[in-house]
Structure 1
Amino acid sequence: MIPTSAFAAFLFDMDGTVTNSIAATERVWTAWARRHGLDVETFLPTIHGVRAEETIRRQNLTGVDIAQEVAAVLAGEIADIDDVHPIPGAEAFLRDLPADRWAVVTSAQRDLALSRLTAAGLPIPTVLVTAEDVSRGKPAPDGYVLAAQRLGVSADACLVFEDAPAGVLAGEAAGAQVIVITAAHRHPFETAHPTLADYSGVRVKLGPDGLRLSKA
């Protein structure tokens, strides 16, 4: 079931939610994990939806320069965009939204976010909140709260589109309703929130009370 409420704005995560860059992301992080002697199979499910800095810091590696490691991962991810593509239906769905009614909130750095959105052929939102914009990344609500503020609305009046547990928690903590996009899931998780495989089966209607989802 899709939400039937009207919303002041839609707030989207990026990777796995509007872009499918999972293969590229996991290639870069797999190489990084192997360089540091980590168990790749255990490590990969933990990287999605959180900032690179926090992913690296959680490994408690000794003698590691966090900023240098983040820069190396960022460079690798920006270079690896050959198979970055949109989630089905995302381009048309986003282009139907009024520019002042949607935002992207991502744990990626701004350069990487712009690179991936462009590679996927998606519109660049007027409001783009990235890793550099908040002191606390997901699952903290800061990014979604900030995006809502920049749109001039309250976060609890928004619908958050997410694909990862950390992002779902961030949306919940912001007071927003959450819907989970599953198209790019390699590491499925259980959720009580509504789910959509992708955007091909839904469209958006703008009325006097706000944005509503409807079946296409």
Structure 2
Amino acid sequence: MNTSAGYVLFDVDGTLIDALDNQRRVWAAWAARHHLDPAEVYRVALRTRPSETFAAVAPALDPAQCLAEFHALEDEDVRSGMYSAFDGAAPLLRGLPAGSWALVTSNYEHRVRGRFSRTGLPLPEVIVDAAGVSEGKPSPVPYLLAAERLGAAPGNCLVVEDAPSGVEAGLRAGMTVWGVNTPLPVEGVHRHFASLREAAPSILAYATAQSIVN
């Protein structure tokens, strides 16, 4: 049973896993298949979900086929691409109390598991992925579902994010939101850290200093 009053909900890509180059390569490969400008496609992809990206950059293409192609490229990248965890991620996750943390990702659980296996990161009991929600970030739905599955009140949850859409999702869920791995604060965050390693002591303190006896 979890005895922590503080729960931590982590975004994955850009927060725990450094997948920026991988995402850029996957989008470039997809763009090349359709003779599109990779730089422009990636610029759009950075601020939209894949289905919205396809609609914006290739409205004449079948979105279902585009998504199938993109998923296949992502799956291949999980198998063969090079991944690394951000500095400090492994000891941070291993130091959190069991049942006190979750992953909330716009990706799919099988890819998250593959990337965590490749980088040696531990997995939590709760993973909320794109397949598990009807609305993705910046909707608060993914973070609210993670809190519900942990048995946590939103006000007792800390969201750790790097992207504006994730920050907005956490704020709309009524949670504390800390930003990491960006040189400047994302608008709205309650605290900003230039790196995950810098944030790790404060994240651990949030999850452990509020320990209670049930």
State the TM bucket, normalised to the shorter chain.
Answer: 0.7 to 0.9
What is the CA-CA distance between 1:138 and the residue it aligns to? 0.8
1:61-76 to 2 correspondence within 5 Å? 61-64=59-62, 66-76=63-73
Other-structure match for 1:179: 178
Query: Which stretch has the larger CA shift, 30-39 or 79-88?
Result: 30-39
> Partner of 1:100: helix, strand, or coil?
coil
Q: What is the count of residue pairs matched by the alignment? A: 201
Other-structure match for 1:151: 150
State the AA in 2 paired with 1:74: H
Other-structure match for 2:193: 196
- Alignment of 1:80 with 2:82, yes or no, is no
Other-structure match for 2:126: 127
What is the CA-CA distance between 1:50 and the residue it aligns to? 5.5
User: Does the CA-based 8 Å contact 1:49-1:107 persist in structure 2?
Assistant: no
- State the distance in 1 between where 2:40 and 2:186 align: 18
Unaligned stretches of 5+ in structure 1?
Answer: 1-5, 211-216
State the AA in 1 paired with 2:149: R
Deviation digits for residues 10-29 of structure 1 (CA, Å, limit 9, x no counterpart)? 10000000001111111001
User: Which of 2, 16, 19 is matched with 2:17 structurally?
Assistant: 19
State the AA in 2 paired with 1:191: E
Unaligned stretches of 5+ in structure 2?
Answer: none
What is the CA-CA distance between 1:42 and the residue it aligns to? 3.4
State the AA in 2 paired with 1:161: V
Bigger proportion of residues as helix: 2
Query: Which stretch has the larger CA shift, 125-134 or 112-121?
Result: 112-121
C-alpha change, 1:49 and 1:152, in structure 2 (3 Å) is: farther
Other-structure match for 1:42: 40
User: Does the CA-based 8 Å contact 2:105-2:130 persist in structure 1?
Assistant: yes
State the AA in 1 paired with 2:103: V
Other-structure match for 2:116: 117
- State the distance in 2 between where 1:57 and 1:155 align: 34
TM-score (norm: length of structure 1): 0.82
> Partner of 1:104: helix, strand, or coil?
strand
Give % identity.
Answer: 36
State the AA in 1 paired with 2:209: G
Deviation digits for residues 177-208 of structure 1 (CA, Å, limit 9, x no counterpart)? 1111116x8xx775342222333233213134
Query: Which stretch has the larger CA shift, 42-51 or 106-115?
Result: 42-51
- State the distance in 1 between where 2:46 and 2:112 align: 14
Other-structure match for 2:6: 8
Query: Which stretch has the larger CA shift, 28-37 or 136-145?
Result: 28-37
Query: Which stretch has the larger CA shift, 81-90 or 129-138?
Result: 81-90
C-alpha change, 1:62 and 1:142, in structure 2 (3 Å) is: same
Other-structure match for 2:29: 31
> Partner of 1:159: helix, strand, or coil?
strand
Deviation digits for residues 111-156 of structure 1 (CA, Å, limit 9, x no counterpart)? 2121112222111110000000011111111100000000001223
CA RMSD, aligned part only?
2.4
- State the distance in 1 between where 2:155 and 2:55 align: 31
